[in-house]
């Protein structure tokens, strides 16, 4: 049976790397905007396993635009003139030599092996699952000097990405492209968006997912919408929802007058986070092992961005209890706190159905949930909510 071999040189393009490192160092010293593209190109070049013979060939890699490719070709021409037009073949010859040696080594090993010791064939799907699990389990370690330049370079810059939770967050990235999420996340809401999310049930669901995502500090950024008229809900109701978010959910509330003020606040938070984290050792950890972040600590455990992205995806790895909570949140006047109180007593719909069936009369079933208490004052849910839940689950359509 044929076996595919993956051969990778440790440094297939040493000259190009050397030039990029020199240009990057110069750009960082001058604080030039080009440093970010150069850094991106250098990371891509180091990850590419094959030798490249020109700047033009580098165009296949991320971060290599026409300007950078031309710059490499110019540098390459000067190099060749100094080397008396000696072509850049040593790397390729070394690569071919490595291939031949490895193939011969594998052949010798296979001849010594018994035919009965062949490994079972692994499907592409299984290989992908194994690779993803290895990536999640890989320990990421960022030393202070390794982290500082990357945090500082993003002082006022940003990246647009698809997030499965929140609207803004901050990432520490090392030279290998590993990404750890700083323990702060922002959910931005204009008053009209806030009203809309309350009406369609997203408000409570989003808060629940923010509380469960593992990021310890949630900033709820509320932005004015013009003169805050024609919102669809009374302003008093929106203010009450914001107060409940602060008290019951433990989120920090920030109120701004417009988008400009919102962005200035994010800029201020960014600078503060850089000062706090640039001299710390950052270590990847799982959500289960995450500990509260102390400003005085020299080492901080953080979530990987990829793990946060996957775990926070809507519907990803939801338990029956979490789905039950989301169902209850679709009912009018049922807040997250009240839904959680119901699920605390009846963790699944099946258990609630069994409780209904055990009631002697329909009236008893309708009032089954009325005495369940919730909130700091431990107030009962009341008859109205109890009957609403009963009708929702017991009415046949």
Last residue of a domain, one of 283, 311, 339: 311
Q: Which pLDDT does position 241 carry in this prediction?
A: 87
Question: Mean pLDDT, the chain, as a whole number?
Answer: 79
Residues 302 and 333 in one domain: no
Residues 53 and 85 in one domain: yes
Q: Give the pLDDT confidence of 101-151 residue by residue, as tens digits.
A: 655 666 666 555 555 545 566 777 777 777 777 776 777 767 665 544 444
Residues 325 and 301 in one domain: no
Residues 36 and 97 in one domain: yes
Q: How many domains does the chain have?
A: 3
Q: Judge whether 132 lies within some domain.
A: no
Q: Which pLDDT does position 199 carry in this prediction?
A: 73
Q: Which pLDDT does position 169 carry in this prediction?
A: 92
Q: Judge whether 125 lies within some domain.
A: no
Residues 339 and 277 in one domain: no
Mean pLDDT (whole number) for 54-69? 81
Q: Give the pLDDT confidence of 342-363 residue by residue, as tens digits.
A: 988 998 899 999 999 999 999 9
Question: Is pTM, for the whole model, over 0.75?
Answer: no
Mean pLDDT (whole number) for 277-282? 87
Last residue of a domain, one of 311, 331, 351: 311
Residues 44 and 182 in one domain: no
d(CA 385, CA 321): 19
Q: Judge whether 62 lies within some domain.
A: yes
Q: For the stretch 372-397, what's the b/e string if a residue is b when 16 or more beta carbons lie within 10 angstroms of its beta carbon? A: bebeeeeeebbeebbbbbbeeeeeee
Share of the chain above pLDDT 70, in %: 81
User: Whose CA is closest to 132, among 290, 302, 310?
Assistant: 310
Provide φ and ψ at 63, rounded to 5°.
95, -10
Q: Judge whether 134 lies within some domain.
A: no
Residues 243 and 365 in one domain: no
Last residue of a domain, one of 257, 279, 311: 311
CATH of the domain at 300: 3.40.50.10130
Residues 73 and 90 in one domain: yes
Residues 379 and 256 in one domain: no
pLDDT bin (cut points 50, 70, 90) of residue 57 is confident
CATH of the domain at 81: 1.10.150.110
Cβ proximity of 45 and 58 under 8 Å: yes
Q: Which pLDDT does position 317 carry in this prediction?
A: 54
Q: Which pLDDT does position 1 carry in this prediction?
A: 46
Cβ proximity of 146 and 174 under 8 Å: yes
Q: Give the pLDDT confidence of 44-53 residue by residue, as tens digits.
A: 888 887 788 8
Helix (H, G, I), strand (E, B) or coil at 238: helix
Residues 6 or more apart in contact with residue 44 via CB below 8 angstroms: 61, 62, 63, 64
Strands (E), the chain: 141-142, 168-173, 179-190, 217-223, 252-256, 281-284, 299-304, 373-374, 379-380
Radius of gyration (Cα) for the chain, nearest Å?
A: 29
Q: Judge whether 22 lies within some domain.
A: yes
Q: Which pair of tokens denotes residue 371?
A: 């005495």
Residues 165 and 304 in one domain: yes
Cβ proximity of 214 and 308 under 8 Å: yes
Q: Which pLDDT does position 111 carry in this prediction?
A: 58
Share of the chain above pLDDT 90, in %: 16
User: Whose CA is closest to 86, among 12, 10, 15?
Assistant: 15
Q: Which pLDDT does position 175 carry in this prediction?
A: 83
Can you give the length of the chain in residues?
397
Q: Which pLDDT does position 109 carry in this prediction?
A: 62
d(CA 329, CA 337): 10
Strands (E), 224-318: 252-256, 281-284, 299-304
Q: Judge whether 292 lies within some domain.
A: yes
Q: Judge whether 131 lies within some domain.
A: no
CATH of the domain at 371: 1.10.150.670
Mean pLDDT (whole number) for 284-304? 86
Q: Judge whether 378 lies within some domain.
A: yes
Strands (E), 148-230: 168-173, 179-190, 217-223
d(CA 395, CA 353): 12
Residues 300 and 351 in one domain: no
Domain that holds residue 200: 142-311
Q: Give the pLDDT confidence of 217-249 residue by residue, as tens digits.
A: 999 999 988 777 777 778 888 888 899 888 888
Q: C-alpha angle with apex 195: 189 to 196, nearest 5 degrees?
A: 90
d(CA 106, CA 74): 41
Residues 13 and 42 in one domain: yes
Q: What is the DSSP letter of 116?
A: G
Q: Give the pLDDT confidence of 159-210 residue by residue, as tens digits.
A: 878 888 899 999 988 888 889 999 999 999 988 888 888 776 678 778 888 8
Q: C-alpha angle with apex 39: 44 to 156, nearest 5 degrees?
A: 130
- For residue 255, list its beta bridge partners: 222
Q: Which pair of tokens denotes residue 145?
A: 């000097």
| Cβ atoms < 10 Å from Cβ of 51 | 20
């Amino acid at each position: 049976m044929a076996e595919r071999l993956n051969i990778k040189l440790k440094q297939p393009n040493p000259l190009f790397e050397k030039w990029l490192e020199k240009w990057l160092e110069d750009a960082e010293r001058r604080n030039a905007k080009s440093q970010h593209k150069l850094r991106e190109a250098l990371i891509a070049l180091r990850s590419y396993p094959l030798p490249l013979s020109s700047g033009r060939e580098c165009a296949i890699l991320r971060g290599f635009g026409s300007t950078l490719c031309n710059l490499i070709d110019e540098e390459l021409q000067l190099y060749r003139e100094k080397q008396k037009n000696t072509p850049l073949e040593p790397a390729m010859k070394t690569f071919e030599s490595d291939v031949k040696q490895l193939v011969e080594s594998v052949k010798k090993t296979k001849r010594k092996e018994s035919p009965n010791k062949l490994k079972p064939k692994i499907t592409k799907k299984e290989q992908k699952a194994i690779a993803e699990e290895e990536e999640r389990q890989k320990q990421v370690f960022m030393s202070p000097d390794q982290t500082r330049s990357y945090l500082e370079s993003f002082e006022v810059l940003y990246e647009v990405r698809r997030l499965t939770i929140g609207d803004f967050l901050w990432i520490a990235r090392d030279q290998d492209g590993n990404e750890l999420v700083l323990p702060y996340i922002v959910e931005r809401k204009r008053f009209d968006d806030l009203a809309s999310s309350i009406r369609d049930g997203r408000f409570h669901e989003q808060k629940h997912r923010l509380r469960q995502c593992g990021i310890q500090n949630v900033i709820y950024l509320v932005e004015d919408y013009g003169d805050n008229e024609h919102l669809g809900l009374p302003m008093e109701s929106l203010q009450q929802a914001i107060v409940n978010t602060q008290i019951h959910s433990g989120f920090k509330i920030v109120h701004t007058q417009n988008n400009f003020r919102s962005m200035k606040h994010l800029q201020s938070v960014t600078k503060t986070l850089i000062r706090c984290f640039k001299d710390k050792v950052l270590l990847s950890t799982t959500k289960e092992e995450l500990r509260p972040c102390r400003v005085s600590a020299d080492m901080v455990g953080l979530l990987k961005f990829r793990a946060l992205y996957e775990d926070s995806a809507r519907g990803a790895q939801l338990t029956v209890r979490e789905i039950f909570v989301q169902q209850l949140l679709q009912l009018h006047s049922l807040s997250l706190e009240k839904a959680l109180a119901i699920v605390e007593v009846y963790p699944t719909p099946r258990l609630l159905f069994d409780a209904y069936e055990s009631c002697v009369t329909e009236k008893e079933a309708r009032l089954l949930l009325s005495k369940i208490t919730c909130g700091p004052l431990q107030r009962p849910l009341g008859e109205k909510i109890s009957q609403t839940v009963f009708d929702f689950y017991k009415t046949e359509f």
